[in-house]
Amino acid sequence: MGREEEKKKGILQLGNYELGRTLGEGNFAKVKLAKNLHSGLLFAVKILDKSKLIQLNITDQIKREIATSKLLKHPNVVRLHEILASKTKIYMVLEYATGGELFGRIASKGKLSEAEGRKFFQQLIDGVSYCHDKGVFHRDLKLENVLVDAKGNIKISDFGLSALPEHFGEDGLLHTICGSPNYVAPEILANRGYDGATSDIWSCGVILYVILTGYLPFDDRNLAVLYQKIFKGDTRIPKWLSSGAQNIIRRILDPNPDTRITMAGIKDDEWFKHDYIPAVPDDEEEDIYIDDEAFSMYEVAYDGTRSSESPTLINAFQLIGMSSCLDLSGFFEEEDVSERKIRFTSNHSAKDLLARIQDIVTEMGFRVQMRNGRLKATQEQRGQKCLGRLSVAAEFITIQPNSNPVLVLVNLDSNYSIN
């Protein structure tokens, strides 16, 4: 029994999710497996560290990824379910693809058969063309960003470098150079503006080539040499591939974007159409909860000026009056449990207290709002026998300017009803 209790203590909960093992980790984020405590379904939670996002100057990239993921509802695109946040972290609750990256499958099995490879490619084109129809251009398509689910279907992920219509220049082209070297289209390297759809098609062609051959069409340790190969479209297509596969690869990996095959052309290709069953998008309106705190990247100010997030200032007389041992209100009025206050002192800064409290209450399943130096956390619980709402409000108070907060007021407000 002791071991079970020990395991329970080690469980980390985020809202309605129980976090499990780490699936992956990068410079500013880690991805953890999560189980919904109500449905039992598995999800992938991408945990982003706000301070690192600010440090790396990629907050706009993350906001773009969230905005883009919210738009896309297709069987071959990883679905965003909700965004939770604390003062220091952003939690993206995403669809979980149990099969991992397509890259891992190719690395372990080598090249795939044309039949299996074509099925993956058809799903890739389905997902990417859907994104294009929504005005979204991925710009970083590669095997590592193509996942596989339990049924063997692909899921396109990682829209951090995606572009929306508002990112186009006055010439109607994109100008930001991005993507992975081996998958990047030659027109992007030319740095004269490029069409997002055409460059994504090139990357899809590189993915198809790797799926069917087991190696990259353009590769070299020297980036300058690699880019020269890409500029020229300098690749050899194996003769042992079927003539249909050779033809579609050649038409996609055309270094001239003006003559490169289009999405419509790919879908009309005889090799592509073999056993092709188009996916049906799920474009019904879905209420995706996004915590406003996810987009808050502010730092609490302590330069002597009071910002909207600064703690309240009080003097010594107010402090004495608020002291529990000198509180005489109980003689004159009955206590209202909905206005119950818990006060405690702290030597930590308001910034540290906010971050710590928000992390804790977020993991407990509360939704957090912060305004004018006051933190409010609410949690709604629904069950067969009860419907309730619990809210906790915390106010940070300082004795004098530039000092650490020494008093926290916590108001407990519970309101439960039994059906």
Q: Is the pLDDT of residue 20 over 60?
A: yes
Task: Give the domain range for residue 80.
Answer: 2-95
Total-model pTM: 0.67
- The residue-averaged pLDDT of 306-318 equals 48
How many structural domains compose the chain?
A: 3
What would you measure as the largest C-alpha separation in the chain, in angstroms? 94
**C-alpha angle with apex 171: 234 to 173, nearest 5 degrees?**
40
Domain check: are 73 and 194 in the same one?
no
Domain check: are 87 and 155 in the same one?
no
What is d(CA 158, CA 377) in angstroms, rounded to the nearest whole number? 30
Per residue in 331-349, pLDDT tens? 434 444 444 556 666 667 7
Q: Tell me the CATH number at 28.
A: 3.30.200.20
Q: Is the pLDDT of residue 240 over 90?
A: yes
What is d(CA 377, CA 358) in angstroms, rounded to the nearest whole number? 8
**Which of 239, 273, 307 delimits the end of a domain?**
273
Residue 405 lies in a domain: yes
What is d(CA 400, CA 318) in angstroms, rounded to the nearest whole number? 12
Whether residue 392 contacts residue 366, with contact meaning beta carbons closer than 8 Å, is answered with: yes
**Which of 95, 119, 134 delimits the end of a domain?**
95
Out of 49, 60, 126, 140, pick the active-site residue. Answer: 140
Q: Is 46 annotated as a binding residue?
A: yes
Q: Is 56 helix (H, G, I), strand (E, B) or coil?
A: coil
Structure tokens at 315: 């003097």
- The residue-averaged pLDDT of 322-328 equals 48
Per residue in 113-168, pLDDT tens? 999 999 999 999 999 999 999 888 888 899 988 999 989 999 998 876 655 444 44
Structure tokens at 175: 């100008």
Active site residue 60: no
Q: Tell me the CATH number at 372.
A: 3.30.310.80
Residue 286 lies in a domain: no
Domain check: are 72 and 129 in the same one?
no
Q: How many CA atoms lie within 13 A of 115 on its CB side?
A: 1
Q: Which position has the higher pLDDT, 14 or 259?
A: 259
Question: What pLDDT, on the 0 to 100 scale, is given for residue 414?
Answer: 45
What is d(CA 181, CA 165) in angstroms, rounded to the nearest whole number? 24
| Strand 89-95 relative to strand 80-85, pairing | antiparallel
Q: Tell me the CATH number at 172.
A: 1.10.510.10
Q: How far is CA 288 from CA 160, 163, 285, 291, in A?
A: 19, 21, 9, 10
Residue 18 lies in a domain: yes
What is d(CA 256, CA 186) in angstroms, rounded to the nearest whole number? 8
Domain check: are 111 and 88 in the same one?
no
